[in-house]
Structures are given as C-alpha cells and as structure tokens.
C-alpha cells in the first residue's frame, strides 16, 4: 500500500490480485474488502448478509483461505490473492461444484450461495479428491448460514462434486442448468476474517 495521504478522508492505493488479475484501487484504508470488490471492482457476486462476520455470505478466498470480506479492511488485503465467486467458474459454463449445487437444489434464494461455493471450494482443495464426510462438510460450512435449503442439499452437492457424482446419486428428474448456482463465521484465527471451524 502506498500514498497514504492524511486526515479522515485519506485514501491509499491498494494492490491486490483478484480472480487472477492484478488490480490497484484508491480507497480509504479501512474500507471493507467486500465493498471494494462490489463497488470499486464491479464484482457483485459476494453478498452482504449480516455485515458482522456471522453469516458467511460475503466469503472470498484470501490467499487460499475462506474469509469474511465484511471483516477485512482494504489495507489488510494489500498484496493478497483474492478469489470471489466470479472467479470460480471456467470461461464458459459453470464449475463441477456449481453444477452440483444446481443438480441437488443447493441453491434456492441464492444469497448464501456465493459464500457456500467459496468455502466448499476451500474444503475440496484441502481434501484433494477424497470425498469428505457429511460431518466434514458441515463443519467446514459452519460459518455459512442458509435460511432456505436445510443444509442437506448443500452437503450432498459438495460431496457429489468431490466424488464426480459417486458420493451421492444425482436426484431423479434434476435438470442440468435448470437454475444458476454461480451466485453470480465467526471470529477468525489465522488472519482477520478467517472463519472459525
Ligand atoms: S456479511 Fe455476514 S459474514 Fe460478512
Ligand atoms: S439458498 Fe437462500 S439463504 Fe441459502
């Protein structure tokens, strides 16, 4: 970060990598990363639910770790690698995880979905091809709240994505691409915004 300026209206230049692209923004150092992403970088996929680190709707990957972007100041993201829900899909179509959310009804109103996808992505990178148990998925997603699905459909979707469909059979009648699941914790331990497990 450079060019701090002075006074209450000071702005600073923050350099970070977002979805693989180097970005520089001039923002107040304490502006929330969530707002930087949505307002300054035109990436509205990350959602605001509570704004207090409780719901996980604002989750992004920060240097590979799922964090609540409503609790991260812009200055804390200096030099970080950020991945938002917009960065999860391939150039065309949706990722396997996103498709599983579609197939299993893991996305309903969709407010929680970007955060769920981000945190599930972190989990699946950790498990490296092993299908996580129901309990593991639920523990990983403990900081992501959903008011619609009852969670089991989300758990099934994550496990199916891990096992290429082996963990849980795709529900009969599910249509591929029927509904977009692109979507476009609590206090932290490893770094600000890190979700508690
Ligand atoms: S908006 Fe709820 S945790 Fe960030
Ligand atoms: S799908 Fe509506 S809050 Fe999760």
Q: 179 to each of 6, 103, 146, how far by Cα in Å?
A: 48, 9, 17
Q: Which ligand sits closest to the CA of 179?
A: 2
Task: Confirm whether 31 is domain-assigned.
Answer: yes
Task: Confirm whether 173 is domain-assigned.
Answer: no
- Say if residue 61 is in the same domain as residue 105: no
- Say if residue 108 is in the same domain as residue 81: no
What pLDDT is attached to residue 179?
39
- Residue 143 domain boundaries: 96-162
Task: Confirm whether 183 is domain-assigned.
Answer: no
Other beta carbons within 10 angstroms of residue 23's beta carbon come to 16
- Say if residue 130 is in the same domain as residue 110: yes
Cα–Cα nearest to 150, from 95, 96, 106: 106
Task: Confirm whether 7 is domain-assigned.
Answer: no
What pLDDT is attached to residue 174?
47
* CB neighbour burial string for 157-191, b if at least 16 within 10 angstroms, e if fewer: bbbbbbeeeebbeeeeeeeeeeeebbbbbbebeee
Cα 118 to middle of ligand 2, angstroms: 14
Tokens of 94: 């949706």
Residue 134 confidence (pLDDT) above 70: yes
User: Would you say the pTM of this structure is higher than 0.75?
Assistant: yes
Ligand 1 atom nearest to CA at 58: 4
Residue 118 confidence (pLDDT) above 90: yes
What is the per-residue pLDDT across 83-112, written as a single tens digit (0 to 9) for each?
Answer: 999 999 999 999 999 999 999 999 999 999
Band of pLDDT at residue 197, cut at 50, 70 and 90: very low
Task: Confirm whether 100 is domain-assigned.
Answer: yes
Ligand 2 atom nearest to CA at 57: 3
Rounded to whole angstroms, the Cα distance separating 156 from 64 reads: 23
- Say if residue 21 is in the same domain as residue 66: yes
Band of pLDDT at residue 171, cut at 50, 70 and 90: low
**Which residue's C-alpha comes closest to atom 2 of ligand 2?**
109
Task: Confirm whether 185 is domain-assigned.
Answer: no
Contacts of 8 (CB under 8 A, 6+ apart): none
Residue 82 confidence (pLDDT) above 90: yes
- Say if residue 22 is in the same domain as residue 55: yes
CATH of residue 126: 1.10.150.120
- Say if residue 101 is in the same domain as residue 56: no
Task: Confirm whether 33 is domain-assigned.
Answer: yes
Q: Which ligand sits closest to the CA of 47?
A: 1
How many domains, the chain? 2
């Amino acid at each position: 970060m450079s060019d701090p300026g002075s006074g209450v209206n000071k702005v600073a230049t923050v350099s970070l990598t977002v979805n693989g692209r180097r970005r520089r923004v001039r923002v107040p150092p304490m502006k929330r990363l969530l707002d930087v992403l949505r307002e300054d970088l035109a990436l509205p996929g990350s959602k605001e639910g509570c704004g207090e680190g409780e719901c996980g709707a604002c989750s992004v990957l920060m240097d590979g770790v799922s964090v609540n972007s409503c609790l991260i100041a812009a200055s804390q993201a200096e030099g970080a690698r950020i991945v938002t829900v917009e960065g999860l899909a391939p150039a065309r179509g949706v990722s396997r995880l996103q498709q599983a959310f579609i197939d299993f009804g893991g996305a309903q109103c969709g407010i929680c979905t970007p955060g769920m996808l981000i945190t599930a992505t972190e989990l699946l990178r950790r498990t490296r091809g092993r299908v996580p148990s129901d309990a593991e998925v639920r523990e990983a997603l403990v900081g992501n709240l959903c008011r619609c699905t009852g969670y089991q459909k989300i758990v099934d979707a994550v496990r199916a994505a891990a096992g290429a469909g082996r963990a849980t059979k795709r529900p009969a009648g599910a249509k591929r691409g029927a509904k977009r699941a692109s979507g476009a914790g609590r206090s932290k331990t490893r770094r600000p915004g890190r979700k508690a497990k």
